[in-house]
Amino acid sequence: MKRSKKFIVWKAYTNFLLQILPKKTRDIYLKKFNSSKNYWLNKGGSLPLDVVEELKNFDVSFVDLGKPNNNRKYKTEYYWIKFYDCLDEVPVKHFRLIPSYKRMCIKILKNETSCRYIFFSNKG
């Protein structure tokens, strides 16, 4: 496995945990994780402006698609963004809003197969 300066990177740890899970459980997680990655990498999602600005400060690569084109009533200003890749870890205040392998790993460690609140709400 790859190693960072202090520990195993989250992507490698997530993949390791997936490998040791029973097939049925692993398939549940893979379906959720793949769906989430497809959403953020292909369609994109909306994030509050302050989170988008914070991502820019940390030199995270993404495409800014402008303001969301939907009928939702946002309390603050949001922007539609699309990531180039799922991040290992995101050093931002609202890290729970960003897709990352660290979040996937935490879901596995908590045995949370519903993955509710992981990158979008559970719809089935």
Please count the structural domains in the chain: 1
d(CA 62, CA 55): 9
Q: What is the pLDDT averaged over residues 31-38?
A: 93
pLDDT at 122 over 50: no
Full-model pTM: 0.80
CA nearest 115: which of 123, 93, 84, 11? 123
Please check whether residue 103 lies inside any domain of the structure.
yes
Structure tokens at 76: 């603050």
pLDDT tens digit string along 56-111? 998 889 999 999 988 888 888 999 999 999 999 888 888 888 989 999 999 999 88
Phi first, then psi, for residue 114 (nearest 5°) are -70, -25
Phi first, then psi, for residue 77 (nearest 5°) are -75, 130
Q: Which pLDDT does position 11 carry in this prediction?
A: 94
Residue 100 DSSP SS3: strand
Q: Which pLDDT does position 66 carry in this prediction?
A: 93
Q: Which pLDDT does position 80 carry in this prediction?
A: 95
Greatest C-alpha distance within the chain = 45
DSSP H helices, 1-124, are 10-20, 23-38, 49-57, 101-109
pLDDT at 113 over 90: no
Q: Which pLDDT does position 124 carry in this prediction?
A: 34
Q: Which pLDDT does position 33 carry in this prediction?
A: 94
Its domain, for residue 44, covers 10-109
CA nearest 45: which of 11, 27, 72? 72
